[in-house]
Amino acid sequence: EAQVTQNPRYLITVTGKKLTVTCSQNMNHEYMSWYRQDPGLGLRQIYYSMNVEVTDKGDVPEGYKVSRKEKRNFPLILESPSPNQTSLYFCASRDVSRGLTFGAGSRLTVL
């Protein structure tokens, strides 16, 4: 089944404790991206990647890092999480002829 898998689905952490949210897709898509969803603000792009070793900032990259060492994986790294990064995060990949396919989401709470 074609899918985007992200983990963990739920995470509660404390300020400053580094964490990684993993994302993997099995559709051989070149384009992958991360979004955060906050009430009333829709989805905002954090980072995207056009291919292996090619990443770029989206609209809200502050406080986040990404890497793309393999085509299928695109982890989101929060080096020093802060409470304002409490949000619902979605990873997505894209076929050039279609829109985004989203993962199930990761709800992160930073205390």
Partner 1 sequence: GENVEQHPSTLSVQEGDSAVIKCTYSDSASNYFPWYKQELGKRPQLIIDIRSNVGEKKDQRIAVTLNKTAKHFSLHITETQPEDSAVYFCAAFQGNFNKFYFGSGTKLNVKP
Site of interaction with partner 1 (CB under 8 A): 31, 33, 35, 40-45, 48, 50, 56, 58-59, 90, 98-105
Dihedral sign for Cα atoms in the order 2, 19, 10, 35 = negative
Residue with Cβ nearer partner 1 (56 or 79):
56
In angstroms, give the least distance from the CB of 80 to partner 1. 26
In angstroms, give the least distance from the CB of 22 to partner 1. 16
What is the rounded CA–CA span in Å between residue 58 and residue 70? 20
In angstroms, give the least distance from the CB of 106 to partner 1. 11
Tell me phi and psi for residue 86, to 5 degrees. Answer: -65, 120
Q: Which residues lie across from 41 on neighbouring strands?
A: none
